[in-house]
Amino acid sequence: MQLPRRAASLAAVAAASAVLLAGCGNDDGPSDGKIEGADSAKKTSAAPTPTKGEDAPKEERPDFRTSDITLPEDIKLVFDWKQPDDPEKAAALDGAADYMRAIKHGTVEQDPKDPVLARHVVPLQTAEQYATALVKADVDEGLTATGEERYYREQIGDVVDGKLAEVAFCVDQSDYFSKKVKSGKVLRTEESPSSYMRFTLVMQKPEKTGLPWKARTFEFEGKAVKKCKD
C-alpha cells in the first residue's frame, strides 16, 4: 500500500526539523534540542484564576470555526472540535486552527515566507521552522494541495504563566493529497496508518489585545492509529 504523499511529507519534514533543532544550541542555553516553554505549558495549574473577559458572551470569544485566512475551494479543513467555555483556551484553540490554515496558505501561495504564515508563528521556534520547511519542500517539488483534512480529538491544557497553553489534536489526511502546480494532476493515494497523526502545539498569548495566539513549539507523532483512528 502506497503511503499518502502528504503524510509522508509531514513525517519527513518533522524528522528534518528535529535534527535541525538538535544542533541549534548556543552559549545562552542548553543544546539538547529541548524546547523552551514546552514543559511548562504541559503543567496544569492547581487553582486556575479567572481571566479577563471570562464572562464575555460566547459569541464574542475567538472561534476556531471562523477565520480571515482564505483557501481555494478544493482545500477543505474540517475542525471537529468543541468550542471551550474558557476564553483563553478558546483563543489558544483558535490560534492553533489558524496555524494549520496558515501552513496551507503558504503552500498554496508557494511561499515559505508567506506573510500570512508569519503572523501565526513565534519567530525562530519549532512551529515556524516546521511550517517553513514543509512549505519549502512542497515548493521545491512543485506541489500544492487538495482535498479534505480533518482535525479532531483535541485536548487543551491550562494556561501557564499567563501566556502558554498546550493544544494537541489528531489529524486525518486519508482524503488529503498533493497536486502538481503546473499540470493540476492530483497524486491520489490509498489510506494507510500514515494517514493518521497527532500534533502537539504550544500556543503563545500575544502581548497586545486583539492579536492572535501564535504557535510556538511543534511536536509530531506519525502513524498515530491507536490514538486517532475512529
More confident of the two residues 58 and 229: 229
pLDDT at 51 over 70: no
Query: pLDDT at position 18, please?
Result: 45
Q: Given phi > 0 = left and psi -120 to 50 = alpha, else beta, which region is 102?
A: alpha
Query: pLDDT at position 133, please?
Result: 96
Continuous segment of H or E residues that includes residue 200? strand 196-204
CB 126 within 8 A of CB 218: yes
pLDDT at 112 over 80: yes
pLDDT band, residue 7 (cuts 50/70/90): low
pLDDT at 139 over 90: yes
Q: Which CATH architecture has domain 5-24+73-228?
A: Roll (3.10)
Query: pLDDT at position 189, please?
Result: 85
Q: Give me the helix-helix angle, 126-141 and 5-22, nearest 10°.
A: 130
CA distance 131 to 154: 20
Query: pLDDT at position 152, please?
Result: 97
Q: Measure the CA angle with vertex 100, ends 98 and 106; round to 5°.
A: 95
Positive/negative CA dihedral, 17, 161, 93, 206: negative
Which grid cell is 178?
Answer: 498533493
Summarize pLDDT for 207-220 with one digit per residue, the tens. 988 889 999 999 99
Where along the chain do its domains lie? 5-24+73-228
* Percentage, residues of the chain above pLDDT 90: 66
pLDDT at 16 over 60: no
CA distance 68 to 45: 32
Mean of the per-residue pLDDT values for the chain? Answer: 81
> Which one, of 116, 111, 115, lies nearest residue 135 by Cα?
111
pLDDT at 3 over 50: no
pTM exceeding the 0.85 threshold for the entire prediction? no
pLDDT band, residue 46 (cuts 50/70/90): very low
What's the average model confidence in pLDDT over 92-111?
97
What's the average model confidence in pLDDT over 167-192?
94
